[in-house]
Structure 1
Amino acid sequence: MPGRVSEVSVKEGDLIHPEQIVARVEADTIRAQLAQAEAMLNLDRDEAERTRELVARGTSPQAQLDARLTDVSVAEANLDAARAALVAHERSVDAARAAAAQIAANFEDTELTAPAMGRVLYRLVEPG
């Protein structure tokens, strides 16, 4: 996910756990784009409604209403795109959590444990 990293909450060598947040990417820009898209949609809807009333009274041409309705459609598409961007950002956070869980699992795989109580009979591996 593109964006500015606002926080890295781990350092090299740290043990991480599943679901632990290891970094955050700012979502302020995406939230601002969403708010802007919502505002534009509301504005375009209001203007379309005013134009519809003017067309009904015969003081505005149908073409102007058609243009306003097109603006509403474009604003709805922009709002959908902004919502999708926010969802994508949230999914990237989920992906980061999954990556952290995978790293934690890989780290756990670096330790071998005895499956049961017993006595070591052979040592077949040496460090190095």
Structure 2
Amino acid sequence: MQQGKNRKLFLGGAAIALIIALTASYLLQRDDMKGFIKSNGRIEVTPLDISTKLPGRIETILADEGDYVEAGQVVAVMQLDSLEAQLEEAKAYFQQAKHNADSAKAMVAARMSDKEAAEAAVSAKESQLYAAERKMKRIETLVKKGATTEQEFDDQEAYTRVLTAEIATAKSKVLAAQAAVDAAKAQSVAAESQVLAAQATINRVNADIKDSKLVAPVKGRIQYRISEPGEVLGAGGKVLNLLDLSKVHMTFFLPTQYTGLLVEGENDGTEVRII
């Protein structure tokens, strides 16, 4: 009795398989399948390596094989201790350079003040000389009239010569003050350059820190973890391999007898269906 039951199940299964086979044959031979060529091929995705820009040790990897990641997502971080120390050093140098630049500006202002004082001294001596020369002319007139002595004229003339010499000295001080101003301005320019150099160093180290955080260049799927945390890599060392899902293509193998029926680039409605 059990054998009869098994025989019935076998016959039932065979009948179902036959129906499926006939249905598939019918579908494949239907008119709407005419013109289709059955063959095989492979789907390929463009792989991308996520690599280091700078040499260093891998601190952590934030993505595993098979994970989907977005463009710009951080997937690995390199060790940052050395770069962070460089950043602190650069910031300290920047503060020092800025202090030096401020001091240089103050020195320029002081030297400008010294120059103005020297120029004021020249003006004062020139005013005294002008008054002394006028007085000397008046005394000369009085001497000719016999109203005063020649000694008074000689004294006034000597005083005038002293003022002339003092003016020459004062003008030399103006020139020295101008040279000091020029030197102070040059030091100020150099100090400002040091500030710019310090800021550039800060920007460079910040850029290196940013580059030490490896990001996915495009949206895709992690295929391989090439390296592991703790490994030391050189510049360009590969950490992860990413499949760019926006660039998927298929290699289709066409039977030889059909190759002459297709023209590359022809817009004739040719299409590929994956079944």
TM-score, with length taken from structure 2: 0.36
Give the Cα–Cα distance (whole angstroms) in 2 for the partners of residues 30 and 51 of structure 1: 32
What fraction of aligned residue pairs are identical, expressed as a percent?
Answer: 28
RMSD: 2.7
Q: Secondary structure at the match of 1:122?
A: strand
Is this contact kept in 2: 1:51–1:60, CA < 8 A?
Answer: no
Give the Cα–Cα distance (whole angstroms) in 1 for the partners of residues 169 and 201 of structure 2: 47
Q: What per-residue deviation string (whole Å, max 9, x for no partner) do you get for residues 31-64 of structure 1? A: 4423321221111001111222333334244333
Q: Secondary structure at the match of 1:13?
A: helix
Which structure has the larger Rg over C-alpha atoms? 2
User: Which of the pair is proportionally richer in strand?
Assistant: 2
Q: What per-residue deviation string (whole Å, max 9, x for no partner) do you get for residues 75-94 of structure 1? A: 01112222332332222222
Confirm or deny that 1:48 pairs with 2:117: no
Matched residue, 1:125:
227
Give the Cα–Cα distance (whole angstroms) in 1 for the partners of residues 106 and 212 of structure 2: 44
- Say which structure, 1 or 2, has more relative contact order (CA 8 Å, 6+ apart): 2
Q: Secondary structure at the match of 2:224?
A: coil
Confirm or deny that 1:98 pairs with 2:200: yes
User: Within 5 Å, which residues of 2 pair with 1:21-100?
Assistant: 22-23=91-92, 24-25=95-96, 26-27=99-100, 29-56=103-130, 57-58=132-133, 59-61=160-162, 62-100=164-202
Distance 1:78 1:37, change over 3 A: same
Q: Give how far 1:115 is off.
A: 1.2
Give the Cα–Cα distance (whole angstroms) in 1 for the partners of residues 197 and 210 of structure 2: 20
TM-score, with length taken from structure 1: 0.70
Which letter maps to 2:179? A
Is this contact kept in 2: 1:34–1:82, CA < 8 A?
Answer: yes
Q: Secondary structure at the match of 2:215?
A: coil
Alignment coverage as a number of residue pairs: 113
